[in-house]
Amino acid sequence: MKRFSEIDFARGFAIVMMLASNFITDLQYFYNYDAHQTFWWLFATVTACIFLLIVGISLNLSYAKDKNIWKFAKRGALIFALGLIITAVTWIFVPQDFIMFGVLHLIGISIIIGYPFLKLDKKFALVAGITCLIVGFFVTKVIASNNYLMWAGFTTASFSSLDYFPVFPWLGLVLIGLFLGKWLYPEGKRLFELPDIKLAKPVSFLGKYSLAIYLIHQPIFLGLLALLI
């Protein structure tokens, strides 16, 4: 099955936004940059929403190509394992704010949880996604006595992490993306036509290698900042 250029472009655009957002986060965390904090918080939130919606859309396209459950289980486990590596690295270098359940942990879990919804009518994914968002709204109001359920969204008042994407509400965006994928690309076939825009190809190229870019960008950023500042 061919790749859809608009999906690669959207993912690449989200990656560019992520790079900008994380660079600012590095400046904020390590170099006390404090300008426009509300804007950059909104920017980071919008970036995460776009990226997770694309994850859901891509799950539908992948399912149309190969419905084997083990492919999804292996992919989810691999990405979750990469998240655990990031947990270990951040625990060594920034133990006070290490990443317990970041975006890779979430995506890994979402791939596995999302698989049953790929077999169902799209309305189930939409309802489940909205439910996750609603549950997440209430979960964030709860102050837990410990962080054992931090993966679900229950944290203590003192909880702090460089990257935190609990199941509630963020799984909801992946499931809504899955709904969009089923709606816009039934059986992996595009319902609409788009022109081929050559200027979009550099961004689309980034979208094809989003995971690799995510894994290597922070060491590069921190190295550059250490040299320049």
What pLDDT was estimated at residue 191?
84
| pLDDT the model gives residue 199 | 65
- Check whether 108 has a pLDDT greater than 60: yes
- How does DSSP classify residue 101? S
For residue 70, the model assigns a pLDDT of: 95
Q: How far apart are CA 108 and CA 65, in angstroms?
A: 19
- The DSSP call for residue 2 is P
20 vs 15: CA distance, rounded Å? 9
The better pLDDT of the pair 41, 32 is held by 41
Q: Where are the alpha helices (DSSP H) in 66-151?
A: 69-93, 103-118, 122-139
pTM of the model: 0.93
Delimit the domains of the chain by residue range: 5-228
pLDDT reported for residue 85 = 96
Proportion of the chain above pLDDT 90, given as a percent: 81
**Average pLDDT of the chain, as a whole number:** 93
